[in-house]
Amino acid sequence: MFNNIKAFLDSKVIQYNQPDFIKNDPVSIPHLFTNRQDIEIMGLWAAVLAWGQRVTIINKCRELITLMDGAPYDFIMNHEEPDLKKLLKFKHRTFNDIDTLYFIAFFRYHYENHQSLESAFIPAETPFNQLVILNDSERSYPGDRSANAVEAEPIEKYLNHFRSYFFSLPDFPHRTKKHISSPSQKSTCKRLNMFLRWMVRRDNCGVDFGIWNHIKPSELIVPCDLHVDRVARKLNLITRKQTDWQTAVELTQQLREFDPADPVKYDFALFGLGIEEKF
């Protein structure tokens, strides 16, 4: 049974992890850019806005890019107060102008002190500027954790830190907190895990960017949305009744049995089966 499921999912990864996947998915938004900061900014924004129909998500992200004159990083770093007025009309579901302006304030604050958004996920006890950046041949993938291990998933620490750091600016709007989840809230953190997949995974297929080096692909957690959850349960990859952070961890640990170094590649298979094949 194990080998049958692995072979089936491996074939679906090959089917869906390819350039045609991009055009109908929110990952198409950061693919509009080549500048690292633009990719990070619009990658996070596209992930945060990713609920509802995919075509609507993509259109709203394109609208947001237009409001920032087609150059998000340059707009964020160099705008003046009057430039923000046109953003007051932006809205997607419960994400409104208050949230938009705070995101811009956070991005500006962060990029005034850092070159990459990756450092926003790294807790202070691991100073980002002291990290050793590994190339592909030097990476290690500790995916073969013991089943009895009690150590928390590294991503749990990263996501909890990011939410705390994101809302560290004075007078942050409390309403915006609902748009940035964390494991401490027992959320699956689907949107942030999807963003991390985009930034961290690196292969030759051209969908994910692989521009971050400290967080390892083996540490990623599957973005557990409705489609992924449903398909995974049909394949008996999830036994937990509710869908929360521990459910996403359980699924990821099962997928590490198939590929310890890159378990989240199976997100393509599970999502594709769910949304394209109605599995």
200-231 per-position pLDDT tens digit: 999 999 999 999 999 999 999 999 999 999 99
The residue written with tokens 């291990």 in the block is 149
| Type and span of the H or E element at 97 | helix 97-111
Whole-angstrom Cα distance, residue 44 to residue 46? 6
Whole-angstrom Cα distance, residue 3 to residue 10? 10
Cα angle 157-159-161, degrees, rounded to a multiple of 5: 70
Quote the DSSP letter at residue 92: B
118-175 per-position pLDDT tens digit: 999 998 765 444 443 333 333 333 333 333 333 579 999 999 999 999 999 999 999 9
pTM, to two decimals: 0.90
Tokens of 252: 């990821």
Give SS3 for 49. coil
**Residues across the chain:** 279
Q: In this predicted structure, which of 16-30, 143-157, 265-279 has the lowest mean pLDDT?
A: 143-157
Under a CB-based contact definition with an 8 Å cutoff, are residues 161 and 167 in contact? no
Query: How far, in Å, are 110, 128, 135, 184, 210 from residue 132 at the CA level?
Result: 21, 9, 10, 28, 16
